[in-house]
Amino acid sequence: MSPAESDELKKVAAELRGRIIVTSCKAKVPHLGSCLSCVDILVTLYWRTLNIDPQNPKAEDRDRFLLSKGHAAPALFQLLAMRGFFPLSDLDHYGVDGSLFAEHPPAHGVPGVEAATGSLGHGLPIGTGMALASRIKNNANKTVVLMSDGECNEGSVWEAAMFAASQKLERLVAIIDFNKWQATGRSQEVMAIDPFKEKWQAFGWSSYEVDGHDIVALEDLLSKLPDGSGKPVAIIAHTIKGKGVSFMEDNNNWHYRTPKPEEVVAARKELGLTKS
Ligand SMILES: Cc1ncc(C[n+]2csc(CCOP(=O)(O)OP(=O)(O)O)c2C)c(N)n1
């Protein structure tokens, strides 16, 4: 990726962060820190890596993406609109009674959303099934599942991990947004997950670590998959919860808090966005 392309994507990421923050304030949707943490991963996937066509979101050969950490739905909805899956104006009704746009992705009705997620621990099992189905149909598409670190406390994650490895689903990619926080505390303190990289390897996966805010490094790694090992791939993306806004970074109050209008203005200013 050229420096100019990477600068362009950084602007896209800032714009996406700004939109998420405005949505959180207007619609009173929580999980702001959780959304900001995975923005750079999402931008890399949707602007560089995934084989997707916003005009044809059900194309058989498309790559599948599952936001297993479904509580980051505001990030997914905003990026799908920015990417052209549906008009940005559809999000004007975010959080209004009856709207499809709420705290988690719904099963049907939003172009680009592959499955209902948000009950943590289910995205990888669903993605494993999708990857197996693709292989049975001789489709060469990838299935990418974005999970959170706290989510890896769920036993269903490790059942799916064992199954995917035993099936040698080399086109299945699990990215873990490793921001070291969960809802009420540090992930390592709630239930220790270290040694994390080795754990995936022990379950029969290839595993890598990357800076989850470095779009160039993320793209470089993702472009090399499948990696030739015949194994599913886990990417541990080191991130900062609330990334991009100094007073939200690594402050877990923003798991549930929504910003006041003056905080939106301050955040957008930091992001280099002038309009609120
Ligand atoms: C099965 C299940 N239990 C509990 C919750 C409530 N919940 C929402 S987010 C969250 C934890 C968030 O921490 P983490 O999974 O690490 O994601 P982060 O927000 O830090 O990205 C929990 C427990 C849930 N969504 N699903």
pLDDT in tens, 228-244: 999 999 999 999 999 99
Of all protein residues, the one whose alpha carbon is nearest to atom 7 of ligand 1 is: 183
Residue 276 pLDDT level (bands cut at 50, 70, 90): very low
Strand pairing of 181-182 and 172-178? Answer: unpaired
Please identify, by atom number, the ligand 1 atom nearest to the C-alpha of residue 149. Answer: 16
- Residue 66: strand, helix, or coil: strand
**Distance from residue 150's CA to the centre of ligand 1 (Å):** 6
| Cα pseudo-dihedral 31, 111, 50, 133, rounded to 10 | 100
The average confidence (pLDDT) of the chain is 97
**Distance from residue 187's CA to the centre of ligand 1 (Å):** 11
What's the rounded Cα separation, in Å, for the pair 244 and 188?
23
Asked whether 149 lines ligand 1 (CB < 6 A), one says yes
Q: Taking the CB of residue 111, how many other CB atoms lie within 10 A of it?
A: 15
Please identify, by atom number, the ligand 1 atom nearest to the C-alpha of residue 151. Answer: 15
Please identify, by atom number, the ligand 1 atom nearest to the C-alpha of residue 118. Answer: 25
Residue 274 pLDDT level (bands cut at 50, 70, 90): confident
Asked whether 69 lines ligand 1 (CB < 6 A), one says yes
Q: What is the mean pLDDT of residues 253-265?
A: 97
pLDDT of residue 275: 56
Please state which CATH class domain 3-270 belongs to: alpha beta
Q: Tokens 């009173």, residue?
A: 28
pTM here is 0.97
Tally of CA atoms within 13 A in the half-sphere of 169 that contains its CB? 30
Asked whether 134 lines ligand 1 (CB < 6 A), one says no
- For the chain, the structural domain boundaries read 3-270
Which residues, in sequence order, are bridge partners of residue 237? 177, 210
Asked whether 237 lines ligand 1 (CB < 6 A), one says no
Asked whether 254 lines ligand 1 (CB < 6 A), one says no
- Residue 256: strand, helix, or coil: coil
**Distance from residue 70's CA to the centre of ligand 1 (Å):** 9
* 13's tokens: 């990421």
Q: Tokens 């995917």, residue?
A: 164
